Amino acid sequence: MQRVNSELKAENERLQRLFEEAQRASKRQAAPFSRRNPKAHPQKPGRKAGSKYGRPCRRPIPEVIDQTFEAALPPSCTCGGEIRETGVEWQYQTEVPPPRVERLAFGVGMGQCQRCGRRIQGRHPRQTSEALGAAASQLGPRAVAIATQLNKQMGLSYGKTAQVLQELFGLPVSRGEESRPTYQKLIAEIRSSPSVTADETGWKVGGKLWWMWAFSTAEATVLLDSTGTRI
């Protein structure tokens, strides 16, 4: 029993080392260090010659050509000799066009119902909201989608996301677009609604218990935390 116990203990220690090594390997960078012994006959890096080269690949030639340019021969050789043209070879380049900001303006028709007196305003399919006045200038859906992908999917901070939009598209945005006018309009809509549904949820911030309150109607939702700050 002592012998079996010793063998099991040694096996457990070996498996524990392998498990810890596997955990470390999963958290390493693209070029990790290794504690394992080098191979006695390692393969040479890079492509192999002859039949062992593998499948040859190259960037495909574009199916549609938008512009064609001519790379003309120089007037003479660097040695001063005359050049005789022998043919033309083609090179292809796939490029991203220079991005630019598209600025749109919507003339929103305003009216009033002659029966109930309700205010009516027009809506274009490309509008993202019906906000007017102080909240009339907004970001378009593509700009919001790009910012969301950079921040949520690619992991960029709010500051770097704003920097990318500024440097790549010339679109000036702050780390958090000023939404107070829109938020105040939402609060006014909540307060003037005949029916409001409220809910509260507990959460912890810095180890302390906070509360989050939600006030919703069929058209809007407003969130508040324990300090009364909008979320």
Angle formed by the axes of helices 158-169 and 141-148, nearest 10°: 130
Residue 147 CB contacts under 8 Å (≥ 6 apart), including other chains: 139, 161, 165, 173
For the chain, counts of helices (H) and of strands (E): 4, 5
Residue 123 has a pLDDT of 92
C-alpha distances in Å from residue 209, one per residue of 21, 155, 206, 226, 227: 39, 28, 8, 9, 12
Residue 230 has a pLDDT of 55
Least Cα distance to 119 among 110, 127, 128 occurs for 110
Residue 17 has a pLDDT of 86
**DSSP letters for 46-95:** SPPSGGGG-----PPPPSS-S-----PPPSS-TTS---------------
Residue 108 has a pLDDT of 93
Residue 185 has a pLDDT of 81
Q: What are phi and psi of 62, to 5 degrees?
A: -60, 140
User: pTM of the predicted model, to two decimals?
Assistant: 0.49
pLDDT tens sequence for the chain (231 residues): 888 898 899 998 888 888 887 777 666 554 445 556 677 777 777 766 767 666 767 788 999 999 999 999 999 999 999 999 999 999 999 988 888 889 999 999 999 999 999 989 999 999 888 888 767 888 888 998 999 899 888 888 888 999 999 999 889 887 655 566 677 788 888 888 889 999 988 877 767 788 888 898 887 888 887 665 555
Residue 43 has a pLDDT of 74
Least Cα distance to 136 among 127, 125, 144 occurs for 127
> What amino acid occupies position 92?
Y
Q: What are phi and psi of 22, to 5 degrees?
A: -65, -40
**Domain residue ranges of the chain, discontinuous segments joined by +:** 138-176, 181-224
Specify the long-range contacts of residues 166-173, CB closer than 8 Å, at least 24 apart.
Answer: 168/99, 169/99, 169/100, 169/101, 169/143, 170/99, 170/100, 170/101, 171/101, 171/143, 173/139, 173/147
Residue 74 has a pLDDT of 92
Residue 22 has a pLDDT of 78
